[in-house]
Chain A
Amino acid sequence: MNVVVIKYNAGNVRSVQIALERMGITPEVTDDHEKIVKADRVIFPGVGEASSAMRYIKERSLDKIILSIQQPFLGICLGMQLMCTHSEENDTPCLGIFSQHVLRFNATNQGEKIPQIGWNSISELRSPLFNGITDDSFCYFVHSYRADIGSETIAVTNYCGRYSAALAKGNFYGVQFHPEKSASIGEVILKNFINLPD
């Protein structure tokens, strides 16, 4: 299995790589167009700021490459947000794979802290990505912006209201949480992604 992790100017590329290595998979971390297109699985991680990440991706024409990918593709955290239509973070047009918009958390009167940092539950799971995982399992989140709920939502989390914990459309998947840091639940999700049908 040839797994590629897309290398760009956003954090946590390294921790995704190490997590895959713990599972016995040695991914290639690269921004080489040909290698990305030829991979069996593509992972698009990211922790950082939306507009500078999009600028970097466009400058290297990675946006066109990502949109052309036919094989299973997984965006993580900022990666998932960049797969949406638009992010409120510095008013950034994104890749438009998912129809959702990404908005900043709006603290309710319960005084939630932003960013959300820590373990929250995912529910309303409906995707082979969550095979073997029960509703209300906990995953690790670190983020200040979140995607709306829509027809592409495959998991829901509640923080300052309900939002998409994961999205899917065709071969494209995105998760807002960090499977690479979500203990055994996260490992199951990564394995499910690797084992998706081609």
Chain B
Amino acid sequence: MLTKRIIPCLDIQNGRTVKGTNFVELRDAGDPVELAAIYAKEGADELVFLDITATHEGRKTLADLVRRIAQAINIPFTVGGGIASVEDVRLLLDSGADKICVNSAAFKRPALITELAAEFGSQCIVLAVDIKQNHGGYWEVYLNGGRTATGSDCKEWILEGVARGAGEILLTSMDHDGVKNGFAVDITSEVAASLSVPVIASGGGGTPAHFAEVLQRGADAALAASVFHFKEISVQSLKQYLKTCNLPIR
């Protein structure tokens, strides 16, 4: 049976892992390669690395880091942050990444997804969407690490992204990110049910029960950062717990 995936996420700044609350107040959380190797050993199903500096100068540093990660771990990993072209993606895949993750650049120029899917295949294109529930009640897409509101309903953007060839959706609720009060279960469940591609829930996982809830409600995978980095929950004990909830877990 296909299992639900647990995905530790490492936010990278200048080659170090960092973690904030609601996208700000960054704290240092260690060496990404070291952390990655620990997570892989503990049974993480996949890893995501997001370069939150994502400057042009940082691009080469990131490729070097990706190379070191690929040499150290034997599970799939996704790399994102500031990806805006076929060349950006080729560099990261050539360095050993299995998938790449696009966000703001794809929203600003949706043809990017089409180009990447045609060149590399949908299976390695993850569309990350950062969302926040606005006063009108709908879940709005935010860009640039949560700094820019778009006025767009996330459901419309996600459908377009999948139609253009995104192979997976990484849905992060900014309202829930780093707060550890549970995932944005309702919107994640709604999006997952409407799509033919997997949805990774992100933002808010604080207890094992939070993970169980969002996976039971239709998310294909759950992603978290600080609970793993600061050793509040180990990947291993989380997966043990999820098995007792009758979820299919490796």
CB distance from A26 to the nearest CB of B (A): 13
Of the candidates B45, B95, B120, which one forms a contact with A118 in the assembled complex, judged by CB atoms under 8 Å apart? B45
Q: For residue A22, which residues in chain B have a CB less than 8 angstroms away from its CB?
A: 71, 74
- The answer to whether A140 and B75 have CB atoms under 8 Å apart is yes
Complex formed: what's the CA distance from A148 to B98 in Å?
Answer: 27
- The answer to whether B71 and A21 have CB atoms under 8 Å apart is yes
- The answer to whether A142 and B123 have CB atoms under 8 Å apart is yes
Which A138-161 residues have a C-beta within 8 angstroms of B? Answer: 138, 140-144, 158-159
Q: Decide: A113 near B220, CB < 8 A? Known: A14-B93, A15-B98, A118-B3.
A: yes
- The answer to whether B2 and A119 have CB atoms under 8 Å apart is yes
Q: Residue-by-residue, is A8-52 near B (CB-CB < 8 Å gives 1, otherwise 0)?
A: 000110110011011000000000000000000000000111000
Interface of chain A, helix or strand or loop or mixed?
Answer: mixed
- The answer to whether B124 and A47 have CB atoms under 8 Å apart is yes
- The answer to whether A115 and B3 have CB atoms under 8 Å apart is no
Determine the interface band of chain A, counting residues with CB < 8 A from chain B. Answer: 35 or more
Q: For residue B93, which residues in chain A have a CB less than 8 angstroms away from its CB?
A: 11, 14
Complex formed: what's the CA distance from A158 to B2 in Å?
Answer: 8
- The answer to whether A117 and B71 have CB atoms under 8 Å apart is no
B interface residues, tally (CB under 8 Å):
32
Complex formed: what's the CA distance from A87 to B199 in Å?
Answer: 28
- The answer to whether A117 and B96 have CB atoms under 8 Å apart is no
Q: Which of A54-62, A91-99, A168-176, A180-188 contacts B (4 or more CB under 8 A)?
A: A180-188
Is B198 an interface position by the 8 A CB rule?
Answer: yes
CB distance from B189 to the nearest CB of A (A): 13
Complex formed: what's the CA distance from A186 to B76 in Å?
Answer: 12
Of the candidates A15, A118, A158, A183, which one forms a contact with B70 in the assembled complex, judged by CB atoms under 8 Å apart? A15
Q: For residue A119, which residues in chain B have a CB less than 8 angstroms away from its CB?
A: 2-3, 5, 45, 250
Q: For residue B98, which residues in chain A have a CB less than 8 angstroms away from its CB?
A: 12, 15, 181
CB distance from A13 to the nearest CB of B (A): 10
- The answer to whether A181 and B2 have CB atoms under 8 Å apart is no
Of the candidates A18, A47, A158, A187, which one forms a contact with B71 in the assembled complex, judged by CB atoms under 8 Å apart? A18
Q: For residue B122, which residues in chain A have a CB less than 8 angstroms away from its CB?
A: 115
Is A116 an interface position by the 8 A CB rule?
Answer: yes
Chain A residues packing against B (C-beta within 8 Å): 11-12, 14-15, 18-19, 21-22, 47-49, 112-121, 138, 140-144, 158-159, 178, 180-184, 186-187
Cβ-closest 10 pairs across A and B: A138-B250, A119-B250, A181-B76, A142-B123, A120-B2, A119-B3, A18-B70, A183-B74, A18-B96, A118-B5
